[in-house]
Amino acid sequence: MGISEKMGDVLGQAVEAKLLREVLEHEIQPKHLAIIMDGNRRFAWRSNLATHVGHRIGKQRLEAVLDWVLELGIPWFTVYALSTENLNRPEAELETLFKLYVEGLKSIAEDPRIHENNVRVQIIGRRELLPQHVNDAIDYAESKTAEYNDFVFTVCLAYGAREELIHAIQNIAELHKSGDLTLEEITEQTVSEHLYTADMPDPDLVIRTSGEERISNFLLWQMAYSELYFTDVFWPSFKKKDLLKAVQTYQMRKRRYGE
């Protein structure tokens, strides 16, 4: 590494440290961060790598981002890992993803950082659409962290917000049909209580990587008043400074909640 490159690294680290300090000292702190992790495949294609390599690098990136979220003290962290639409991808690609999920879930369940920080791991989505070995890994990770509540790390697998809403509507309709719930008792709170995220606060900040500016059937109900942040960076290239910039942008916005 040349002198100019070393100086560039030192300067970059100084800028990052300053940004981290500013974010941590700000009076406004997000309680729930959600990320749509997008761009693994395009990162691989543009880097002349196989698709499965892009997914593996994306998995490693998530491990790093989780560390940064813990450093920032954000108690709720949710990621969109696999949508119901993604289940239509080629079988070979899905097998690669399922293998990575199993590896990741088992690894995180045994990671000392998870236990030192009292991180509860939970998976939401249509688990019946996932292979048994993935469900076994989910059960393992959830059971190993079930008693923790300081931080909650939620992974959305085989998840679709429209399906989630339909499921909630069906449950509410059954309660009304049985006489346990009147029409007047059906409120926003009622709907929220029947979603997969019933025990979670709505996201304060939602980040999407890779340059796409849409929410792609993710937390449609919960994102009603979330701040959205879009970045051109592909997920495998997402750096700490990118996260800090997103949080700082959130801190600078004035949330009006429709007022």
Residues assigned a catalytic role? 38, 86
Q: Are 157 and 81 in contact (CB under 8 A)?
A: yes
Our separate counts of H helices and E strands in the chain read: 9, 6
Show the tokens assigned to 91.
């079988």
Angle subtended by helix axes 51-72 and 91-109, to nearest 10 = 30
Q: Are 165 and 221 in contact (CB under 8 A)?
A: yes
Task: For residue 247, give the nearest of 206, 211, 186 by alpha carbon.
Answer: 206
Measured CA to CA, the distance from residue 19 to residue 127 in angstroms comes to 39
